[in-house]
Structure 1
């Protein structure tokens, strides 16, 4: 998955937006103002593509045990976020999109009912 595919996929999610709230290097995808994916662009440019995604704590641990290219979230809550190293070949497109979906769904799940209603 290249950066344009990643961007298109994230923006295809209902009510998703992109922003640079921290600096010009960290592209952040949000749903109704809540972060679900963070992309360090300088790493992508250097051939070290990675993405931070929200994750259920138990599932996060399982993923870290099953895949060398998934670690506790860098500069994020280690309990709720994973860093996915996309430049490593063990992750296929199907798994990457599944993890993106899971992150988006985790953020939506944590919203109030009123916020979730805005997604439709």
Structure 2
């Protein structure tokens, strides 16, 4: 996993936008709501939202930490991207996208072309 792979995958999701926040974090959003944040500085680190029931389980895995400022919303920080296989990365990022998308208003989801 690297920044190029992450950008390619995230930007392939419908209505995804990216921007740089806090000077050195690449943020991927849907409807103005973040679903993935990656450090532009080395070493590569990435944060994303997980299901409530997965949060505690993931905190027991090596190189997973509560995401700073976002852990209360069940975000995790992966400090070593090599501990996760590509398929698992895609599943985590897609799940985060879907969790955030589900919280958008129906009107906004329609405007973004996510539903009719």
What TM-score comes out, normalization by structure 1 length? 0.84
Q: CA deviation at 1:39?
A: 0.9
**1:103 corresponds to which residue?**
96
Q: CA deviation at 1:79?
A: 4.1
CA deviation string 1:52-74 (max 9, x = no partner): 10112221112222x21211112
Q: CA deviation at 1:101?
A: 0.6
Q: CA deviation at 1:20?
A: 1.5
Say what the alpha-carbon RMSD is for the aligned residues. Answer: 1.6
How far, CA to CA, are the matches of 1:93 and 1:86 in structure 2? Answer: 13
Please say if residues 73 and 83 of structure 1, whose CA atoms lie closer than 8 Å, have aligned partners that are also in contact: yes
What TM-score comes out, normalization by structure 2 length? 0.87
Provide the aligned length of Structure 1 versus Structure 2. 113
How far, CA to CA, are the matches of 1:34 and 1:102 in structure 2? Answer: 14
User: Which consecutive residues of structure 2, in runs of 5 or more, have no partner in the other structure?
Assistant: none
Please say if residues 63 and 78 of structure 2, whose CA atoms lie closer than 8 Å, have aligned partners that are also in contact: yes
How far, CA to CA, are the matches of 1:113 and 1:79 in structure 2? Answer: 21
Q: Which has the higher contact order (CA 8 A, sep 6+)?
A: 2
Partner secondary structure for residue 35 of structure 1? strand
